[in-house]
Structure 1
Amino acid sequence: MSISKKYGRTYHYPFSPGTTSDDRIHHDYWVDVSRIKSIVHTEKLDGENNCLSRYGVFARSHAASTVSPWTQAIRERWELIKNDLGDIEIFGENLYAVHSIEYRKLEHHYYVFAIRVQDVWLSWEEVKFYATLFDFPTVPELKIVKPDSEAVFRHDVVSFTKQVSVLDSIDILTEKSCTCEGIVSRNADEYPVEDFKHHVLKYVRKGHVKTDEHWTRHWRRAKLQWEYPQV
C-alpha cells in the first residue's frame, strides 16, 4: 500500500516526437487547453522525480522511501525540513546524478516543479512561494500564455524545445551543447488532483535518452555551476 499518491502520468502533446510505446498521448489536448485561463510553460529537466513529504523522500514508488545513493543529499536536506511540511508534498527534479544531459549552470541539485496539498495541486505562484520558503529553486519558467490560438500555442511549444537549456545543456555522448529535453505545460492556477491529466502536458524531443538500464552502476554526480572552471 502506498504512503501517498504518485505524481500523475503526464500525457504527451500529439506532436511530441519523443514518445515511446508505453507513453500516453492527449490527441484532443486543445479541448482542455482552450478552457484554461493561463498556462505556464516550464523547462523539462533531465533528472529523477523526487517527492518530499512528511513521510519521507520518494522516487517512482510511494510505497517506501527511496534509498538510492543519488538521493542521499536530498534525504539529508529532508531531515531538516520534514517537521515543517505538514500536508505539503514537494515534487522536484533531482539532478544530483547525470542522466542524458549534463547541466553547466546548476545552482542546486533539486528543482521544484509542483506542490500538492491533499487533493489539490497548487498554483504556479504558490509553487514558487513554497519553493522559496524551503530555499529551493523552481524549474525554469519559459513563458506564461493565454491560450487563444492553437497555431500560436503550438508554435510556442515547439520553438522552446529548439533552444538550449536555461541551465546550459550538454549532450553526455558528444560533450557538445544540445537542446533542452523538452517542456512541461501546466495550468497556472490550482486544480484538483483527480483532474491532473486535463491540466498538464509535455513535449519531449526525439532521441533524448542516451543512457541504458545499467547507468545506475556507473552514475556520476552533477557539478554545480561554481565547480566548473570560470572562463
Structure 2
Amino acid sequence: MESTKYGRTYHFPFSPGTSSDDRFNHEYWTDIQSFSQLLYTEKLDGENNCLSKRGVFARSHAAPTTSPWTAQLREHWGRMKNDLGDLEFFGENLYAVHSIEYTQLEHYYFVFAARIKEVWLSWEEVTFYASLFDLPMVPVLRSDRVQDLTATLLEETVKHLALQPSILGSMDPRTETSCTSEGLVCRNAAAYPVSEFQHNVFKYVRKGHVQTDEHWTKSWKRTKLIWERGTN
C-alpha cells in the first residue's frame, strides 16, 4: 500500500485565518460530542513532513522530498527507516523559518500524528511510538473531558489559547518582536479510522498567519536552536 498524504484539516467556523481554498466544519460540535477526551495542541508554523518506510515526504506523497531544509530530517530517517514497518509519523519541520521564528527550539521536528494503515493512532499511542524513535511531540496546551464542555466554553477556550505566544517562543521574523502562536489544533484523543479524519481533527488559525511569498524557497533561512542564540 502506497503512502497517502495527511488529510485536509477543516477549520472551526470561528477561525479567522482562512484562505479561499480552506474548508470549515460547521458540525464540529456534533462531532466532538462523540469523543470522550478533546486534546488541544499548538499548531506550529513549519512544513508538514511524513516519515515512512518509503521515505520522507512533504505535503505531497507523489515522491520523497529532497529539499535542503529536510536534509537533517532525512539523515535521522535513515537511521530509523528499517524499524518503521507500517508506522508513519507526521510532524512539523521547523528547520526553516516561515511566518514565525521559534526562539526556544532544542529540536526541529515535532510529531503531531501517527498512522498505521487505515487508523490514526490515539494520542497515547502516538506519544509512545514517538518516544521509541526519540521524536519530540508538538506542545499540548490542554485536555478536556467532553462531558465537561459546552460549545460556548469550547469556543472561548480555543480563542483564549490562540492569543498566547508559542510554547517554543514565537517571534515575527520581519520585526523581531514577540507574536502569538500560529493557532491550535483540536483532536479526538482516541484512535479513529482514516476515513473519519475530518470529523476528528479541527483547527483555529490566527488572522493573516501566512507572511511568506512564492519566493520563500529561494531566500529561506535556517532557524537557530536555543543554544545558538546566547543569553540575551
User: What range is the shorter-chain TM-score in?
Assistant: over 0.9
Q: Please give the residue correspondences for 1:49-88 in structure 2 after superposition, counting only pairs within 5 Å.
A: 49-88=48-87
Q: How far apart, CA to CA, are the structure 2 residues paired with 1:125 and 1:227?
A: 33
Distance 1:135 1:88 in 2: 15
Residue 60 of structure 1: CA displacement?
A: 1.4
- Equivalent residues in 2 for 1:17-36, closer than 5 Å: 17-36=16-35
Task: Report the Cα offset of residue 146 of structure 1.
Answer: 1.6
Q: What is the CA-CA distance between 1:173 and the residue it aligns to?
A: 1.3
Which residue is 2:193 aligned to?
192
TM-score, structure 1 length as denominator?
A: 0.98
The letter for the 2-side match of 1:5 is T
The one-letter code matched in structure 2 to 1:157 is V
Quick one: distance in 2 between partners of 1:32 and 1:122?
Answer: 18
Is contact 1:3-1:64 (8 Å) kept? no
Provide structure 1 residue ranges, at least 5 long, that are not aligned to the other structure: none
CA distance in 2, matches of 1:37, 1:177: 35
Aligned to 1:170: 171
CA RMSD of aligned residues (A): 0.9
Kept in 2: contact 1:88–1:116 (CA 8 A): yes
TM-score, normalisation: structure 2: 0.97
The one-letter code matched in structure 1 to 2:68 is: P
Shift of 1:41: 0.3
Taking the aligned partners of 2:172 and 2:127, their CA distance within structure 1 comes to 29
Q: Is the 8 A contact 1:173 1:210 kept in 2?
A: no
Q: Which secondary structure does the structure 2 equivalent of 1:155 belong to?
A: helix
Identity of aligned residues (%): 61
Give the secondary structure class of the aligned counterpart of 1:159: helix
Question: Separation in 1 of the partners of 2:35 and 2:124?
Answer: 16
Aligned residue for 1:16, secondary structure, equals coil
| In 1: Cα distance, 2:2 partner to 2:60 partner | 9
The Cα of 1:155 is off from its aligned counterpart by: 0.9
Question: What SS does structure 2 have at the residue aligned with 1:81?
Answer: helix
Q: Which residue does the alignment assign to 2:205?
A: 204
- Tell me the matched-pair count: 230
Give, in angstroms, the shift of residue 35 of structure 1.
1.3
Q: Which moved more, 1:47-56 or 1:141-150?
A: 141-150
User: What amino acid maps onto 1:216 in structure 2?
Assistant: T
Secondary structure in structure 2 of the residue aligned to 1:139: coil
SS in structure 2 of the partner of residue 130 of structure 1: helix
Distance 1:58 1:107 in 2: 22
Report the Cα offset of residue 136 of structure 1. 1.0
Letter in 2 for 1:7: Y
- Structure-to-structure mapping, 1:9-24, within 5 angstroms: 9-24=8-23
Deviations 1:104-124 (A, max 9, x none): 111100000000001100000
How far 1:130 sits from its partner (Å)? 1.1
Q: Which runs of 4+ in 1 moved over 3 A?
A: none
Distance 2:208 2:174 in 1: 12
Q: CA deviation at 1:3?
A: 3.1
- Does the 8 A contact of 1:3 with 1:63 survive in 2? no
Q: CA separation in 2, counterparts of 1:142 and 1:178? A: 17
Task: Give per-residue Cα distances to partners, 1:18-55, cap 9 Å, x unaligned.
Answer: 00110000112111011111010000000000000000
Distance 2:115 2:125 in 1: 10
Superposed CA offset, 1:116-139 (max 9, x none): 001100000111111111001100
In 2, Cα distance between equivalents of 1:38 and 1:30: 13
In 2: Cα distance, 1:173 partner to 1:143 partner:
30
What one-letter code is carried by the residue in structure 1 that aligns with 2:127?
K
